[in-house]
Structure 1
């Protein structure tokens, strides 16, 4: 199956626009992250290739929204939350109800987001290590 990159990127841009609005409401942002995490855990087997990246995206999102880590540029956190919103949408470019193929565009977008913010994530990991915390399955610190 050939992905329509332009269509995916257009849909992702809409997701980033939604992320900008959601980030202004801590409760909505937290709910969005938790909902995306639930979907990720449910589909962990299909997300094996991006699982560690996804955990990092969840962790930095959660730490940003709860105010414990704010050193990430606004554009990066908007891209991350936008990626999670895209991931959450059941009827994006490739609808999630299509067996096996439904998450292909989601994985594409999550990898794209990861590549866009990888330097910011490296700084986050250094900060997280200094805190003595590790990133766990629920995106929380332990």
Structure 2
């Protein structure tokens, strides 16, 4: 199956626009992260290739929204939340209910976001290490 990159990127841009709005409401942002996390856990097998990246995206977005980590540029957190919003949408370029292929566009977008914000994620990981905290699936500090 050939992905329509332009169509995916157009959908992702709309997700980033939603992320900009959601960031202004802490409860909506936390609910979005929680919903995306639930979907990810329920579909972990299909997300195996991006699982570690996804855990990191959840952790940094949760720490940012809760005010624990604010050293990430706003454009990066918008891209991350945009990726999570795209992932949450059941009707995107390849609907999630399509067997074996439903998450292929989601994985594409999540990898794209990860690459786009990699330097910021490396700084976040260093901060977590410095704080002596482990990055966990729910974004909590252990």
Pairwise CA RMSD of aligned residues? 0.5
Q: How many residues align?
A: 142
Q: Does 1:109 align with 2:109?
A: yes
Which runs of no fewer than 5 residues in structure 1 stay unpaired? none
Other-structure match for 1:64: 64
Q: Does 1:31 align with 2:42?
A: no
Q: Which digits, 9 at most, give the CA deviation of each residue in 1:97-121, with x for residues without a partner? A: 1011000000000000000000000
Other-structure match for 2:52: 52
Query: Within 5 Å, which residues of 2 pair with 1:1-142?
Result: 1-142=1-142
Deviation at 1:139, TM superposition (A): 2.1
Deviation at 1:140, TM superposition (A): 1.6
Secondary structure of residue in 1 paired with 2:138: coil
Question: Separation in 2 of the partners of 1:139 and 1:45?
Answer: 20
Q: TM-score, normalised by structure 1?
A: 0.99
Which runs of no fewer than 5 residues in structure 2 stay unpaired? none
Secondary structure of residue in 1 paired with 2:134: coil
Question: Separation in 1 of the partners of 2:130 and 2:27?
Answer: 28
Secondary structure of residue in 2 paired with 1:102: coil
Q: Which digits, 9 at most, give the CA deviation of each residue in 1:49-76, with x for residues without a partner? A: 1000000000000000000000000000
Q: TM-score, normalised by structure 2?
A: 0.99
Secondary structure of residue in 1 paired with 2:103: helix
Question: Separation in 2 of the partners of 1:2 and 1:95?
Answer: 14
